[in-house]
Structure 1
Amino acid sequence: MVRLFKHYVPHAVLLLGLVDLVLLLLAAEAGWVLRAHQIGIALTPVAARWPQLLSFAAALQVALVAVGAYGVGSFLSLRFAAARLAVAVSLGVIFLSILYFLVPSISFWRSNLLYSMLFACALLVGVRALLGQLLGGERFKRRIVVLGAGSRAARIRELAEQPGVNFVAAGFVAMDAAPALGDAVPRDAIPNLAAYVIDQDANEVVLALEERRNALPLADLLRVKTTGVQVSDFSSFLERETGRVDLSTLNPSWLIFSDGFASGRIVSSAAKRAFDIVASTLLIALTWPVVLLTAIAIRLESRGPAFYRQHRVGLYNQGFDILKLRSMRIDAEAEGQARWAAKDDPRVTRIGRFIRKVRIDELPQAWTVLKGEMSFVGPRPERPQFVAELERHLPFYAERHMVKPGITGWAQINYPYGASVEDARHKLEYDLYYAKNYSPFLDLLILLQTLRVVLWPQGAR
């Protein structure tokens, strides 16, 4: 894993992204050269068309990230990768059309663009056919040795067996007399732990002891560390590999002393607010016809107002009202008690089912963002009744209110819609990861990946 702006990116993904960037530049140049040859134009130096080449490559690279073309599926299935690439190239052309309209001086001819698109599709599919299995194989994964053979070590083994993980469990060392993993090597059978780690060709040791109090093998860990091998505790390892903070094993001291939750983010917070103002203003200006037509359709289908306000809990537990397009019947909570949305919820109207899937019902919240009560990116704000219930059942739930709530977020793009306390627990783990590792880079990644969620809805209710 490479940590970019406090967010972990797998080596294979980073390498594939760099290869794609080079191939997109080559595709753009090949399209230009082919069209110039067809119409008999003398070729100028490449330096003369760098703006065109870079704009083409950048737009398609952004589209690749947005549709999830660097997800696990792209390394496991060529068919999956080709489908995502086709959508990405189509979106890239839309991005380029907007960019060329705004900045005509960097535009391609349409014929150049067509040829470059074809070359890009062939090259991107080809590199995944040739390198997909290699990049997704063990060569680009970290090899770890786990100190421990109990339930925590068993969780690491289960995680290692899932497709698309970024590490290989090279060995387990039982540090006590009663290991839960039968194939774990007893510590007493290893004369030199540091030499054992090197023999396993491991570049990381993960401490997965069930009880650390007076049980830390300090001499072993020091010897391993001084050989140049990384030593990680269980919580940090899971955070890096899963993109979430594991609540079941979380120790408050880890949250206190680990990196993250930086409060001195004056510049990034100001930039985030500036982006929210500009983006919400543009969104309101561009989507008001869609909101208007949807509101008319809602009124035609069922009686009652097209919009509704709902009280939510925001930053520092302060309440505020969000504005949404109504997707349920007006008597959805006639008894006056808040209810979780359920799968195939009978309270949802036909229009409501559609606008929930494509997130049109969320568009009026741009006004809430403009007012500063929400941001585009952040933990999803919950209703006060649910917050009270969740704070009783879930540790650290109040910590998610230390950042401004958002329309989309790390939990929304990584976990399907939740409608229970257990779902809220999983989403809280992602929300804590976001609050702990916030950066403008992570915000940008979430915004781009939200497009993937809209195109391929998962669990919208």
Structure 2
Amino acid sequence: MTSLFGHSVRSDVLALYVADALLCFLAIYALLSWQVGLPFGQGFMVAVTVAAACGIISGASGLYQPEAFSRARKLIAAVSVAGLLLLVLLPVLSMMSPAARASLDDHLFGVTLAFVSAVVTTRLGFALALRSGRLAQEVALLRCPERTADEAGKLYAAAGHSGRFRIALEVPPGTPLEVVLAPERLRARRIRAVIATDPAAVPQPLRRDLAAAGIEVLRETEFLEHQLARVDIERLPDGWLARTNGMREGRMEAAMRRAFDILLSSMLLLGTLPLLVGTAIAIKLDTPGPIFYRQERVGRGGRIFTLFKFRSMVVDAEASGAPVWASRQDDRITRVGRFIRLTRIDEIPQVFNVLLGDMAFVGPRPERPAFVEKLGQVIPHYHERAVVKPGITGWAQVNFPYGASVEDARMKLAYDLYYVRRRSLFLDLLILVATVRVVLFQEGSR
């Protein structure tokens, strides 16, 4: 695990990112300098420019998703999307690097082919290493009498489901820890973390020796939070909220975030203006009723505001007066509505809410007051997601599909509170990149 600006990034994924950039640079530089015969400076600038954008393009096309390593069809689709994104972005990249402009314009397809070859090569190598088990982190599990079967089951389920770590050593209660957890013994078995219900069970001198050897001693909940990028809402300690990044935002960061929201919303609004006009006309011609749908949602601190969306359902969608979650093949959705929901076009008018200050571009999705009241009664810590502004997109949206039940809301809350806890501009950037993937592959649309 590697912590970047408070967000836990898997060390193997970070290594894959570095491998992508390096191999992409070498492939493009070899193509332009050795085969095409460009001068050193031009070929170098093109290679550096594309390699720098490699991680963003790969993230936006789903090439860092687990399915890209285990399913050939998913890999082909992600690589195809990455190639198309690069073709679209190359003219923009050329503006950022004037020395490389002519080279990029003349060798678009060659550069794209080199990029695709590089990312396919790294993923094939990564998939082989993953199957061999070499990328799984070895951990030692310190058992204790107080651990319930359910708590132990969560750790084993996470290990089996994610494939990110393997429990290589179980230490029963009463075992002399100074012997079993001796740093040299753990390092010999490639164990880099000791997981315990209570780290205080490991004597302080031993913890210092383990830290000096680069071996972490972590609480189970902390370890799973790092590995799964979500919190365990059932075992959050008292007073956890006061220590979160969402509650400690300074004036400078708040000003930067607000400026970023205004800039991004304005760019999205201007860039999609022809699309917005076409969508408005299509909605008006498809079914009678207003173009926009206005609905009360709960914002920061529980404040109610009016959310704007393109109307995707018939006018009397909730004739009974009771709010209802959308379902698959929902007969309330219009023909145009089904398309704009799949492509997320219906969400674009929410930029007006961002410009008005009711929402941020990134944050937990705003829910309706009736749902918030219901979910707050059955899910612990549910109201604590409202300590930050709601967003058009968020950590839960890019990690979990559309929620249409209390259990779905519980899982999405686990991701939302992870965001509240580790909120940063870096995490916001990761979410924005991942949102491109969600939109392109229509993940979670309903």
Q: Same fold judged by TM-score > 0.5?
A: yes
| CA distance 1:145–1:253, change in 2 (3 Å) | farther
Contact 1:193/1:224 (CA < 8 Å) preserved in 2? no
**Larger deviation: 225-234 or 236-245?**
225-234
Q: Secondary structure at the match of 2:306?
A: strand
Q: Distance in 2 between matches of 1:294 and 1:364?
A: 11
Q: Which residue of 1 aligns with 2:124?
A: 129
Cα displacement (A) at 1:453: 0.6
Aligned to 2:159: 160
Q: CA deviation at 1:254?
A: 5.0
Q: Write out per-residue CA displacement over residues 193-251 of structure 1, whole angstroms, 9 at most, x where no aligned residue.
A: 32375564422111137xx9xxx6353x6524423331111211111011101113333
C-alpha distance in structure 1 between counterparts of 2:424 and 2:119, whole Å = 30
**Compared with structure 1, are the counterparts of its residues 136 and 399 closer, same or farther at alpha carbon in structure 2 (3 Å cutoff)?**
farther
1:392-407 → structure 2 map (5 Å cutoff): 392-407=377-392
Encode CA deviations 1:241-277: one digit per residue, 9 max, x unaligned: 11101113333255556x6445143322222111111
Aligned to 1:205: 194
Secondary structure class of the residue paired with 2:365: coil
Of 273, 281, 304, the match for 2:258? 273
1:401 is paired with a residue whose SS is helix
Is the aligned partner of 1:250 residue 2:236?
yes
Task: Supply the distance in 2 between the matched residues of 1:311 and 1:387 (Cα, whole angstroms).
Answer: 12
- 1:361 Cα deviation after fit: 0.2
Question: 3-state SS of the aligned residue for 1:337?
Answer: coil
What is the distance in 2 between the residues matched to 1:227 and 1:61?
A: 34
- After superposition, the Cα gap between the structure-2 partners of 1:35 and 1:144, relative to the gap in structure 1 and judged at 3 Å, is closer
Q: Which residue of 2 aligns with 1:170?
A: 168
Alignment gaps of 5+ in structure 2: none
Matched, 1:227 2:216: no
Q: Is the counterpart of residue 74 in structure 1 residue 68 in structure 2?
A: yes
Match of 1:354 in 2: 339
- Residue 181 of structure 1 corresponds to none
Tell me whether 1:91 sits opposite 2:76 in the alignment: no
Q: Which amino acid aligns with 1:238?
A: L
d(CA) in 2 for partners of 1:338 and 1:354?
22
- Measured after TM superposition, the shift of residue 127 of structure 1 is 2.9
By how many angstroms is 1:52 displaced?
2.8
Pairs within 5 Å for 1:294-305? 294-305=279-290
Task: Tell me, yes or no, if the aligned pair for 1:59 and 1:95 is still in contact at 8 Å.
Answer: no
Distance 1:150 1:198, change over 3 A: farther
Aligned counterpart, 1:58: 52
Task: Give the 3-state SS of the residue equivalent to 1:25 in structure 2.
Answer: helix
Q: Is the contact between residue 301 and residue 387 of structure 2 (CA under 8 Å) also seen in structure 1?
A: yes
1:132 is displaced (CA, Å) by 2.8
Cα separation, partners in 2 of 1:302 and 1:100, compared to 1, 3 Å = same
Aligned residues with identical type, % of pairs:
39
Q: Which of 162, 166, 181 matches 1:194?
A: 181
Please, which moves more after superposition, 118-127 or 397-406?
118-127
The 3 A distance-change label for structure 1 pair 227 and 103 is closer
Code of the aligned partner of 1:168: R
For 1:95, give the aligned amino acid.
L
Instruction: Please give the secondary structure, in 2, of the residue aligned with 1:321.
Output: strand
- Taking the aligned partners of 1:293 and 1:48, their CA distance within structure 2 comes to 42
SS at match of 1:333: coil
Q: For the Cα contact (< 8 Å) 2:137–2:191, is it kept in 1?
A: yes
Distance 1:137 1:267 in 2: 47
Is the CA contact (8 Å cut-off) linking 1:146 and 1:153 kept in structure 2?
A: no
- Partner SS, residue 272 of structure 1: helix
What is the CA distance between 1:416 and its match in structure 2? Answer: 0.6
Take 2:48 and 2:340, find their aligned partners in 1: how far apart are those partners? 36
| Equivalent residue in structure 2 for 1:456, among 438, 441, 445 | 441
CA distance in 1, matches of 2:75, 2:54: 15
Kindly provide the amino acid, as one letter, of the partner of residue 128 in structure 1: R
1:414 aligns with 2:399: yes
| 1:369, distance to aligned residue in structure 2 (A) | 0.9
Counterpart of 1:441? 426
Query: Matched residue of 1:324: which SS?
Result: strand
Alpha-carbon displacement from aligned partner over 1:284-320 (angstroms, at most 9, x marks no partner)? 1121221121121112111111112111111111111
Q: RMSD across aligned C-alpha pairs, in angstroms?
A: 2.4
Q: Which secondary structure does the structure 1 equivalent of 2:432 belong to?
A: helix
Counterpart Cα distance in 1 of 2:392 and 2:210: 46
| Structure 1 residue 78 displacement after superposition | 4.9
Taking the aligned partners of 2:330 and 2:336, their CA distance within structure 1 comes to 13
Cα distance change on mapping 1:264 and 1:275 into 2, 3 Å: closer
Gaps of 5+ in 1: 38-42, 176-186
Work out the number of aligned pairs and report it: 436
Residue in 2 that maps onto 1:100: 94
Check the 8 A contact 1:76/1:133 in 2, yes or no: no
